[in-house]
Amino acid sequence: MQQLHSLNDRTVVNVETACSESTAAEIGAAAEAAHACAAWWGASSRHDRSRLLQDLATTLEIHRQELVSMADDETALGTSRLNGEVGRTSYQLRRFAELALKGLPFQVVDDPAIADPPPVGHPAMQMNLVPVGVVAMFAASNFPFAFSVLGGDTASALAAGCPVVIKAHPGHPRLSRQLFDLVQGALRERNYPPGLIGMVQGAGVDVGMTLIRHPLIAAGAFTGSTRGGQALWAAALARPQPIPFYGELGSINPVVALPHVLASDGANLAKTLATSITQGCGQFCTNPGLLVLMDSPETNAFLDHLRKELSVIQPHPMLTANMKKAFATGIDHQLAAGAQVLLQAEDQGRAPGPHLLLASAATFTTNEALREEVFGPSSLVVLAQDFREIEQVLSAVGGSLTVTLWGVDADTSQNRDLVRKAVSVAGRVLFAGVPTGVAVTKAQHHGGPWPASTAPMSTSVGDAALWRFLRPVCLQDAPAWLRLRDGQPC
């Protein structure tokens, strides 16, 4: 049986053997235990769901110091960043607790009977929402709290009335186990069954595949690589009874900056962008991996500023040795595909130096290798000759979590075309700032057309994440006792 080791990410020394990889029997037992809770939790009240989510947030906050220390050992993300992430995670839990208490999962569309003949006349109908069932949640490497054991997928699924089985990420196995133990303690405090929130662990593909293929799993939620997410998505669709799979996958997040905005504020924008490219060692799904600029004197001056800003930044070590290797391979692929080096800073062990590469719009649009995500502190500059080439570059990118447009403030036909193109390929379009940093809000949409996600109409961040795990059901001529439940399932 394979052992999962907790690795100190700075010293590259095993801290301890965190756990053993879950067996097929253990994965099946977790799915069965969760399924045994599904009808009970699906019929739970808004108060019960809210109280549990509030309890989990409080538990996280009480144990913040020890959890942050453990996470820093395994990820080297730094205590400041990790403390902020704990705050975000507890906020997510409390926000979904509030949404549950307000009755968002129990919304009803009431359509009273009309006695007229068809097509105007119809029976009494109610559109209700019911939980889909057990959700398999695949934790991410780069956010050990906010997209992990108690992350947004877990919070939104619980608020929707769905039990969860978490596939913990092997990049932080000790932290995942500690979080899970705290979760189980919170469940015991309320005398809730432990199967309501289950967890399995493993470094290979078998554990995830076994989980998503289990017949009692009703939906999947994933944050990670395009390759891994696509494999799980295919497995979910190939089941005898296919299930929805909400995968948030790779994205290169183009930033388009027009010459006039670079002329007026190029130095400040370069500083902001350099911080965004290297934040978290570039290990953000919203990292600005593509800069689309006009070939102009203003762009040349801006790139000089950007090189200077990047050259003095030394990112921290990457989350795993495999990620560092994949980052180096991605840079090599871009160079082999015709990109040129603008900046290639020296590595410091597991900590890569920032990279800035350059290609023409024509080279980019004809070479698929330049459109692949490079997960790390790098960005590819693409020089366009006109607005038409900028639109061609965005078309070649395909689906993206974000597109940022700097300098489209005036209502012109060219700017309208750029906005139209950006909206067609992205789930979120920014007109100021940088894409790193995804606020948990009512209007947030963290998704996008393929390959950004497998379900572009859904979001993995924000209030609407709840809808992924609810299914509409029309009740026709329902008895009075059922209508009086106000949307709470039986």
Strands (E), 330-377: 340-344, 355-360
Reduced to 3 states (helix: H, G, I; strand: E, B; else coil), residue 8 is: strand
Q: What single-letter DSSP state applies at residue 431?
A: S
Distance CA 335, CA 314 (A): 22
Distance CA 139, CA 145 (A): 9
Give the position of tokens 């057309």.
449
Characterize the bridge pairing of strands 125-131 and 470-476: antiparallel
Question: Rounded to whole angstroms, what are the CA distances from 40 to 45, 125, 161, 164, 469?
Answer: 10, 25, 9, 13, 16
Q: What single-letter DSSP state applies at residue 465?
A: G
Contacts of 44 (CB under 8 A, 6+ apart): 161
Question: Buried (b) or exposed (e) across 434-444, using 16+ Cβ within 10 A?
Answer: bbbebebeeeb
Catalytic residue, chosen from 19, 162, 281, 285, is 285
Distance CA 370, CA 349 (A): 26
Q: 24-42 vs 205-213: helix axis angle to the nearest 10? A: 40
Q: What single-letter DSSP state applies at residue 319?
A: S
| Contact between 73 and 8 (Cβ < 8 Å) | yes
Question: Rounded to whole angstroms, what are the CA distances from 126 to 57, 110, 471, 479, 480?
Answer: 34, 5, 13, 11, 12
| Contact between 323 and 283 (Cβ < 8 Å) | yes
Contacts of 460 (CB under 8 A, 6+ apart): 152, 153, 221, 223, 246, 248, 446, 447, 453
368 is catalytic: no
Catalytic residue, chosen from 74, 85, 248, 309, is 248
| Contact between 2 and 21 (Cβ < 8 Å) | yes
162 is catalytic: no
Distance CA 174, CA 466 (A): 29
Question: 362, exposed or middle or buried, with CB in 10 Å at 0-12, 13-18, 19+?
Answer: middle
Helix boundaries (H) for 360-462 = 361-366, 387-397, 413-425
Nearest residue to 441 (alpha-carbon basis) of 461, 421, 418, 427: 461
Give catalytic residues, as residue numbers. Answer: 248, 285
